[in-house]
């Protein structure tokens, strides 16, 4: 009986970078769908850089809209963090 190898679990916004680097050109579509459908709270710039490097390596453009989606999520995350800061500051006053 084979024993299953224990895999360290990490948040999606960390593991997706590894999968982008390992993905074949055929797998990019599925990764694009996953990234765009997943709420990514942080690590946006690292994911964008990995995505763009992969596309450049393959000689492709971002026709899937992943970069735009991540930029939008980054903006939303930053706005949310600022709003939470304002609430925390108001509560401390």
How would you write the chain as a 3-class SS string?
A: CCCCCCCCCCCHHHHHHHHHHHCCCCCHHHHHHHHHHCCCCCCHHHHHHHHHHHHHHHCCCCCCCHHHHHHHHHHHHHHHHHHHHHHHHHHHC
Residue 7 lies in a domain: no
- Residue 72 is assigned to a structural domain of this protein: yes
Q: What is the per-residue pLDDT for 83?
A: 81
- Compute the distance between CA of residue 19 and CA of residue 10 in angstroms, rounded to an integer: 13
Local confidence band at 2 (pLDDT 50, 70, 90 cut-offs): low
What's the pLDDT score for residue 1?
59
| CA-based R_g, the chain, Å | 17
User: From the centroid of its chain, how far is CA 58?
Assistant: 19
The overall pTM is greater than 0.85: no
Quote the percentage of the chain above a pLDDT of 70.
Answer: 98
Residue at 22 is within a domain: yes
Q: Is residue 8 domain-resident?
A: no
Asked if residue 83 is part of any domain, the answer here is yes
Domain coverage including residue 20: 13-92
Domain presence at residue 50: yes
Q: For residue 2, is it within any domain?
A: no
Number of structural domains (the chain) is: 1
In a domain, 3, yes or no: no
Above 80 in pLDDT, residue 21? Answer: yes
Contact 54, 84 (CB under 8 A): no
pLDDT > 90 in the chain, percent: 67
């Amino acid at each position: 009986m084979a024993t299953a190898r224990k895999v360290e679990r990490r948040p999606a916004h960390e593991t997706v970078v590894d999968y982008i680097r390992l993905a074949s050109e055929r797998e990019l579509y599925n990764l694009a769908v996953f990234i765009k459908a997943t709420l990514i709270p942080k690590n946006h710039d690292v994911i964008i850089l990995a995505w763009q490097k992969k596309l450049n390596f393959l000689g492709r453009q971002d026709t899937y809209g992943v970069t735009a989606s991540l930029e939008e999520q980054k903006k939303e995350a930053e706005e949310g963090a600022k709003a939470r800061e304002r609430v925390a500051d108001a509560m401390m006053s």
